[in-house]
Structure 1
Amino acid sequence: MGRPNDEVAELFQEFADLLSITGEAAYKVRAYEKAARSIAGYAEDVSTLDLKGLRRIPNVGEAIAKKILDYRETGTIRQLEAVRAKIPAGVRALTAIPTLGPKKALVLYEDLGISSVDELAEAIPAGRLEGLKGFGAKTEENILRGIELMRRAGDRVLIDVAMEVAEEIVAALSPLARRCEYAGSLRRSRETIGDVDILAAAADSGPLMETFAALPLVAEVIAHGDTKTSIRTVKGLQVDLRVVPPESWGAALQYFTGSKAHNVRTREIAVRAGLKLSEYGLFDVESGDLIVSATEEEVYERLGLPWVPPTLREDGGEIEAALRGELPRLVRLEDLRGDLHSHTDLTDGIAPLEDMVAAAAAQGWEYFAITDHAPNLFMQRMTDEKMLAQREAVHALGERHPDLTLLHGTELNIDADGEVDWPEEFLSGFDLCVASVHSLFTQDRDTMTRRIVRAVENPGVHVLGHPTARLIGRREPVDCDWDAVFESCARHHTVVEIDAFPDRLDLPADLIRRALRYGVKFSIDSDAHATGHLANLRYGVGTAQRGWLTPDDVVNTWPLDRLRDYLGTG
């Protein structure tokens, strides 16, 4: 089932959106938005907290805490239902479109009677929005792009959503199986997941299938059989369980991990060797004898290949590299010595500095950077005085954590022309500066390229944060000449970030491989806004692996002295 914190957070974000439509005071809308972020990022399970415990969540006052208790007891929030009743379902449907805000959705409904995504997709090219206040050509273009983005996402979910479901199922089934793992696109660390594939090995599939179909997260059993059972979760995600004999485990895991294109290539190699490869094993074509099937390693070895890491199995050159003996030793989570991008409640994080540092220290890292937002992101209300006071607090905390070097940094805002928040003399006081695009995402290609390159060339900027500024399923990447950006990053020793937040995973894997050609170095960062977000680094590592990165390519696997030398801050 979905994490209770996420379910409650979604309700309060919806509350905020609906209050915005009804014209409620901005401060009240912001209060629910802040509460939603805080609840989502809070480490403790809200379903286990009493009123006093809920009040300890940042931005959760007594009124909101009581609404959470109301939801736990009744399955709904009465005040939210009352607001929902005031707003037509058609308007709520339109607000699901990325780039279309709630107020514009209400205008479309009231002025044009548009009450569905399909109606809006037809109305724009038909010219029905022409002359409607606030809906110029650029707005129409953005809405159409948002509709395309939403349709492309379809029923796919972000990797963390799928992972939570997969790990819950694997934990429930493992005691009944010889082996049990998730496979498919999730094992390959794809950014979004359609169906979750679970593979188990057991002599008797019956207990596994019965237990799987009866799990609390199951809303519907789609199909039930001896070798495969499919269910749909309460959140609408399809999960397929396949059970194979223990002796077929390796071949089955290789087959069901995919990708399809990779499997085609391995089967072609088998055919040329007079063999047949399937989910049941590797067989001699003439005799029909089983040759190997128990482990993935022996299947690949019999094909003349080393074991290929799942994150590379996309027919992106991994077969050729394997045949040449040139598969990279991919970066792993345990290689990371620190995190170079995090936030506290001084800006838009929900945890105080002390808690974020304690969580980082618990990771056993060598270093940790605190990089709260700079003043040009106006809603964060940062000032020079606040930042300097935080620096003193960071230095004091460092004395309490002698095994963890704390780096005081900031996340700068790259403005329309490529300038950043502070002048060079102020920036020189930071240990580390991340610079990111936070606005004006639809600038044309040449303008955006000049903007980012100018920031990259700034001697006070060390890391280019979430470079494409995309939000998966909600905002397209910025349009940019990435070759020009990567060439500049390599020349100026500006590190390119792989932001590990599941809705970012930015830089994406295809651009990582492109940047590698220029000799770019990368950081895998959590961009944590809560202590629990540090765990997202696993998804950043998966993306880095898909980009073929080795530990040497990732600067936060390096010792601190080497990192500082590269950044020029030593």
Structure 2
Amino acid sequence: MARPNAEVEALLQEYADLIAITGGDAFKARAYEKAARAIGGYPADISTLDADGLREIPNVGRSIAEKVTEYLRTGRIALVEERRARIPAGVRELITIPTLGPKKALRLYEDLHISSVSELAAAVEADALADLKGFGEKTQDNIRHGIELLRRAGARVPLAPATDTAEGIVAELSGVTGCRRCAYAGSLRRMRETVGDLDVLVAAERSAPFMDALCELPVTVEVVARGTKKTSVRTGKGLQVDLRVVPPESWGAAMQYFTGSRAHNIRTRTIAVHQGLKLSEYGLFDTGSGEPVASRTEEDVYARLGLPWIPPTLREDRGEIEAALHGELPEVVTERDIRGDLHTHTDLTDGLASLETMVEAAAERGYAYYAVTDHAPDLYMQRMTDEKVLAQRERLRELDGSRRRMRLLHGTELNIGPEGEVDWPDEFLAGFDLCVASLHSHFGLGRRAMTRRLVRACENPYVHVIGHPTTRLIGRRPGVDADWDEVFAACARTGTALEVNAQPDRLDLGDADILRAREHGVRFAVNSDAHSVPHLGQLRYGVGTAQRGWLTRDDVINTWPLTRLRRFLRKGGRS
């Protein structure tokens, strides 16, 4: 279930948006945004804190702490509801469109009486915005693209909140008397970047107690359909949950069937037919006699079909069946394989926790090494200076000396400029253990210019990793336009790794691009890009994406021992 931290983060961010819509104080709106981020990333459960404890969270002052306390006590914040009442519902709908800010949404409502996404789409197509100040051709193109992104996302839910909901439901149902097994399946088990609905399976002799339990969970707001074999409910976030209870002896077949994908299942059923068998959610049966031949475990089902067990993240009919038949299925990277995180931030720039706190949290995860990579000075709002980063390096070296089990690496996240240039001259960059370089601006450059920009960054002897390479934000911002095959070839040629950024709204590179880059011989780094202690745990989503891209331990540089990693970081033989 959602942590109170996440609920309050969303509410405070909404309040910041409402302030902006009504033309309120920009500094006040920014204060609420900062507080929202700080609470969302705070490691402790805020429901356990009193007002004094809340004020210890960065950017949370007395007034905001009082509002948080009000929410924890009553489930609402009166001031937010008052502000909501002042804003037409249509305007609140318009600001869900990526690229459309609150001020422009209010202008559209006041000047053209547009109060829905469909009305805005029609107005754009009819060229009805042409005479509205501030809505030139480029703005209209951005709005058109934002509507397309919104519609493409539809009712799909991002991976992280879907996982939180599913794990909460599985935990609750696992405690019901008679539960033999309980797990989620479907696209969430395959680690798709967004999820349409949740499939939850229970193995038990009786189904009624589990159907009752699901309908009575706090997360359930609507019972869509209820039966003895399947019950569907909807959560407060609009996510449909389908629960199926199967006999314990059918568990493996049910997990295989309901994990999918549909295309993968068609292939496995076809193999079954050719062997005189029938495969369903209840088991693998002899077609002639009707006798079951395998069903208790997925391994049994796949083995009877003449296949090894295929990891769920590979089940997309992208060659996994052929690879399995020929003994060429990759042993995909797992979270246990990750020896260290190579892209993280502290409160020296835009992180929420101190260097010491982040290092301690990384050590608790059992890492062999850990890199701190705060932003460089060209990202001007972070106010990085030479003096600050050198002082951080000195402190990190002190901590490294006290931690023999986890080695600390001092890095930075550079900004790739429009011409492929990066912050700091070569002689300064030479002092870092590693440099991640990322795009943070100028996303609209043309294809040729963007390709040249990225290739030049790869060619820099002090750039080791290209961070969140496409810059996409899932459902909100598309990736930049570049000749990615040329970029992937440059990475392979120069020994520059591409990041699989584990932030759930990025997952960048995505699986399809990973598959293409891997064909070029590129190496990868699966990183959390953590800005707080809880973010370190998001690495799991990056690993899932890496698996979907068929990556093995050998493909991922932060699964390597430190000695091998250091050799890689001596890019181009540089000592």
Identity %: 66
Corresponding residue number in structure 1 for 2:114? 114
Q: Which residue of 2 aligns with 1:423?
A: 425
Deviation at 1:373, TM superposition (A): 0.7
Alignment of 1:497-536 (within 5 A): 497-536=499-538
Describe how 1:344-363 pairs up with structure 2 within 5 A. 344-363=346-365
Deviations 1:131-177 (A, max 9, x none): 32222212111111111111111111111111111111111122331
Contact 1:13–1:32 at 8 Å: present in 2 too? Answer: yes
CA distance in 1, matches of 2:421, 2:105: 34
Separation in 1 of the partners of 2:427 and 2:40?
38
Q: Which runs of 5+ in 2 are unaligned?
A: none
| Mapping for residues 17-416 of structure 1, pairs under 5 Å | 17-175=17-175, 176-416=178-418
The amino acid across from 1:75 in the alignment is G
Q: Distance in 2 between matches of 1:96 and 1:59?
A: 26
Q: CA offset at residue 116 of structure 1? A: 1.1
What is the RMSD of the two structures over their aligned residues, measured on CA atoms?
A: 1.2
The answer to which of 343-352 and 18-27 deviates more is: 18-27
Q: C-alpha separation between the residues in 1 aligned to 2:434 and 2:347?
A: 19
Question: What amino acid is aligned across from residue 491 of structure 1 in structure 2?
Answer: R
Partner of 1:442: 444
Question: Shift in Å at residue 367 of structure 1?
Answer: 0.6
Structure 1: runs of 5 or more not aligned: none
Contact 1:449 1:481 in 2 (8 A): yes
Q: Distance in 2 between matches of 1:322 and 1:333?
A: 22
TM-score if structure 1 supplies the norm length? Answer: 0.98
CA distance in 2, matches of 1:79, 1:291: 63
Which sits farther off after the overlay, 305-314 or 393-402?
393-402
Deviations 1:33-54 (A, max 9, x none): 1101101111111122100110
Kindly state the Cα deviation for residue 222 of structure 1 after the two structures are TM-superposed: 1.3
Q: Hey, what does 1:558 align to over in structure 2?
A: 560
The match for 2:570 is 568
Cα distance, 1:82 vs structure 2: 3.0
Maintained 8 Å contact 1:5/1:39: yes
Distance in 2 (CA, whole Å) between partners of 1:548 and 1:7 is 35
- Where 2:151 maps in the other structure, the secondary structure is helix
Count of residues in correspondence between the two structures? 570
Distance 2:520 2:306 in 1: 32
- Measure, in 2, the Cα distance between the counterparts of 1:292 and 1:133: 68
Report the CA distance between 1:287 and its aligned residue: 1.5
Letter of the structure 1 residue corresponding to residue 524 of structure 2: F
Counterpart-to-counterpart distance in 2, 1:254 and 1:351: 42
3-state SS in 1 of match to 2:171: helix
CA distance in structure 2 between the partners assigned to 1:300 and 1:59 by the alignment: 53
Q: 1:74 and 1:165 mapped to 2: Cα distance? A: 22
Give 1:185's aligned amino acid: S
Q: Distance in 2 between matches of 1:426 and 1:241?
A: 57
The ranges of structure 1 where at least 4 consecutive aligned residues each deviate by more than 4 angstroms after the TM superposition are: none
Given that 1:498 and 1:522 are in contact with CA atoms closer than 8 Å, whether structure 2 keeps it comes out as yes
Q: Deviations over 1:382-419 (max 9, x none)?
A: 11111111111111121232211111111111122211
Deviations 1:84-143 (A, max 9, x none): 233322222111100111111122122222111111101111111113222221211111
Q: Could you tell me whether the CA contact under 8 Å between 1:2 and 1:235 is conserved in 2?
A: no
Deviations 1:244-266 (A, max 9, x none): 11111111110000000000000
CA distance in 2, matches of 1:414, 1:377: 10
Amino acid at match of 2:488: F
Rounded to whole Å, the distance in 2 between the matches of 1:444 and 1:93 is 31
State the one-letter code of the partner of 2:43. A
Provide the secondary structure at the position in 2 that maps to 1:412.
Answer: strand
AA matched with 1:217: V
1:7 aligns with 2:16: no
Cα distance, 1:356 vs structure 2 = 0.3
Q: Distance in 2 between matches of 1:530 and 1:318?
A: 36
Query: Residue type matched to 2:232 in 1?
Result: S
Helix, strand or coil for the counterpart of 1:368? strand
CA distance, structure 1, for counterparts of residue 563 and residue 211 of structure 2: 53
**1:83 shift after superposition:** 2.6
The CA deviation at 1:24 is 2.7
Cα distance, 1:78 vs. partner? Answer: 2.4
